[in-house]
Chain A
């Protein structure tokens, strides 16, 4: 069974550009969450999608957005990139929304903003 797949794995952008990251969840999983990992702030929750609807959102500016498609694949977009957006962006999938279920993480997309 394939795991969570994130693309691209590495990318470099310049300030002011925008970026789109993609996440394919484990087959059958309907929930996708996104996290940002930085050395200074650690792991922070961005948002969660379930059945194409955003169910929860973290404390990030509106430049960060996402969506989920009918096949449960998800994308997140960051517009008007800033240096501080350099981070590892992790996607996690889960079957449902029950609080006991575990999240399965991808290896992440490492974004560098110059």
Chain B
């Protein structure tokens, strides 16, 4: 099955700082890759996804590129806002079915 290694948090940043959250995975077959975000008191929301090698997913200023050669899917944002404070989860999805394997989550706290 799949497994995910995600950098541990918490990550504390000042507003407008650059954010990178590393994610590497092991998978059989050819998974799709997802980043989900969980804001305080809310459920999981899809942030972005990439379905094949070299695809770049992007949303709300966040980006991540599917790197098959390094089995990585690092999340980046050039200028974070206080509203980006949340827990971020990297998750590959198996080639068949809908099973997501989640990383441990990275808590990000952005201070004004």
B105 contact set on A, CB distance < 8 A:
42-43
B20 at the interface (CB under 8 A from A): no
B44 contact set on A, CB distance < 8 A:
90, 92, 105
B40 contact set on A, CB distance < 8 A:
none
Min CB distance, A69 to chain B, in Å? 18
Distance between Cα atoms of A55 and B30 in the complex (Å): 19
Distance between Cα atoms of A102 and B37 in the complex (Å): 13
By size class, the interface of chain A is 20 to 34
Instruction: State whether A56 touches B97 (Cβ < 8 A).
Output: yes
A72 at the interface (CB under 8 A from B): no
Assess A100 versus B32: contact at CB under 8 Å? Given A42-B105, A45-B100, A55-B97: yes
A74 at the interface (CB under 8 A from B): no
Question: Dominant SS at the B interface?
Answer: loop
Total interface residues on B, using CB and 8 Å?
Answer: 26
Q: Which residue of A lies closest to B29 (CB)?
A: A99
Instruction: State whether B99 touches A45 (Cβ < 8 A).
Output: yes
Distance between Cα atoms of A90 and B42 in the complex (Å): 11
Contact flags B68-107 to A (C-beta < 8 A → 1, else 0): 0000000000000000000001000111111111111100
Interface centre among B34, B43, B51 (most CB of A within 10 A): B43
Of B45, B93, B94, B97, which one neighbours A105 at CB under 8 angstroms? B45
A24 at the interface (CB under 8 A from B): no
Of A42, A43, A90, A94, which one neighbours B98 at CB under 8 angstroms? A94
Instruction: State whether A42 touches B102 (Cβ < 8 A).
Output: yes
Min CB distance, A100 to chain B, in Å? 4
Instruction: State whether B42 touches A31 (Cβ < 8 A).
Output: no
Q: Report A's interface with B, CB cutoff 8 A.
A: 31, 33, 35, 42-45, 48, 50, 55-56, 58, 90, 92, 94, 97, 99-108
Q: Report B's interface with A, CB cutoff 8 A.
A: 30-32, 34, 36, 42-46, 49, 51, 89, 93-105
- Known pairs A42-B102, A100-B32, A103-B100; list 4 more (Cβ under 8 Å): A33-B99, A48-B97, A50-B97, A99-B30
